[in-house]
Amino acid sequence: MPDGGTIDGVEPVREYVRRRAAPALRPWVAGCSGYREAGVGPVRHLGLPSPWMTLILTLDDPLVVERHPDPAQPGGRFDALVGGLHRTPAVIVHDGRQSGIQVALHPLAARAVLGLPAGELAALDVGLDEVAGADVERVRADLLAAPDWAARFDRVEAWLAARLAVPTPGTAPRSAPEVVRAWELLRRGARVEAVAREVGWSARHLSGRFRTEVGLSPSALARVSRFDRTRRALQAFPAAGETTRPRSLADVAAEHGYADHAHLDRDFREFAQTTPRRWLAQEFRSVQDAEPSGAGRSWT
C-alpha cells in the first residue's frame, strides 16, 4: 500500500456517524449508524449475533453476504436487507467500497415495520423490500439524494415512525406486553425461570411465544445478549500503543456474568466461531465494529 496508507495514491475514505433514535422511536429502535468506506482494500467481516434485528439500506454499493447465519441460505447481494436474530455469524465481504445506513430494530417491532413476526426471519437475511414493500426503494432514492448524514437519518426515522404508527394492513396486533417485558428482563441478564414468574406464564408457554415473536428461545436470547454486551466491552480495550492498561479478558468475562475465561471462549466459539483474541485481532478496526452498546449486527 503506497503513499503512507493510500491505495494507488488515493486517500481512503472512512466515515462513521451514529445517531440515537428520536424519543418517539427509542422503545423500538436502538439507534442508526451511517457508514462510508472507499479505497480501503478488500474486507471479510463477521456479522455477529445481537438481540436486535438489523436493517441495512445501502447507498452506492450493494451489501454482499458471502454466508448467512443459516448455511442453507445461499449468499447474495442486497440493496436493502433485514436480518433476523441468529446464533451464528454472517460473513460479509466487500472489495474496498461500502456505504449505507444501519438500523438496530427491536424484534417486537417487526410486526409493525415489516408485517410479520420476527420469528419468521430467524437466522435469515432477506431483501427489505420483500417484506416491507415498494416504499423501500423510495426511501433509498431519498437517501441517495440527501445532502448529508443528518438528512439521511431524518428520512429513515420518518419512514420507521410511519410504519410504527400505522402497522401494515392485515398484520396481527403488536406483541403481548408479557413478551415485551420478558425481552427487557432477559436482555438485562435475568434468569428464564424468574422471568416466567414475573410475567405470570409457564416457562413452556413463554418459550413458545418467544420463539414466534423474537426468533430465539428465552435462554438463547439471554445468552446472545450477554455475548453482545461482552464483545462490545472488549471493543473498549485501548488500541495498541495507548498507555492505559487494558482489562484482561478474564476481568471482562467476570464483569458480564461468565464463570471464567473458558466460559467466555465457549460462547465466542458458538456465536462468532472464533476466540475473543482472534476476533479482536481480525475485526477490531472495522468501522461499524466501533458501534456502542445497543446496536444491531455489525456488517462492515
* Whether residue 13 has pLDDT greater than 80: yes
Q: Over the stretch 18-56, which tens digit does the pLDDT of each residue have?
A: 999 999 999 999 999 999 999 888 888 899 999 999 999
Mean pLDDT of the chain: 87
Query: Which pLDDT does position 172 carry in this prediction?
Result: 52
Of 13, 103, 97, nearest to 61 by C-alpha is: 97
Cβ atoms 173, 110 nearer than 8 A: no
Of 44, 66, 49, 45, nearest to 268 by C-alpha is: 49
**Mean of pLDDT values over 135-144:** 97
Q: Over the stretch 198-250, which tens digit does the pLDDT of each residue have?
A: 999 999 999 999 999 999 999 999 999 999 999 988 877 655 445 454 568 88
Cell 413478551 identifies what position?
179
Min mean pLDDT across 107-121, 162-176, 279-293 is at: 279-293
* Whether residue 78 has pLDDT greater than 80: yes
Query: Which pLDDT does position 293 carry in this prediction?
Result: 40
Cell 403481548 identifies what position?
176
CA–CA separation, 222 vs 106, rounded Å? 15
Cβ atoms 256, 233 nearer than 8 A: yes
At 294, the pLDDT band (50, 70, 90 cuts) reads very low
Catalogue the E-assigned strands of the chain: 13-19, 29-38, 43-47, 53-58, 63-67, 76-78, 80-83, 90-94, 98-105, 125-127
- What the block records as the C-alpha cell of 227 is 455475548
Structural domains in the chain plus CATH codes: 2-170 (2.60.120.10), 177-283 (1.10.10.60)
At 292, the pLDDT band (50, 70, 90 cuts) reads very low
Query: Which pLDDT does position 298 carry in this prediction?
Result: 43
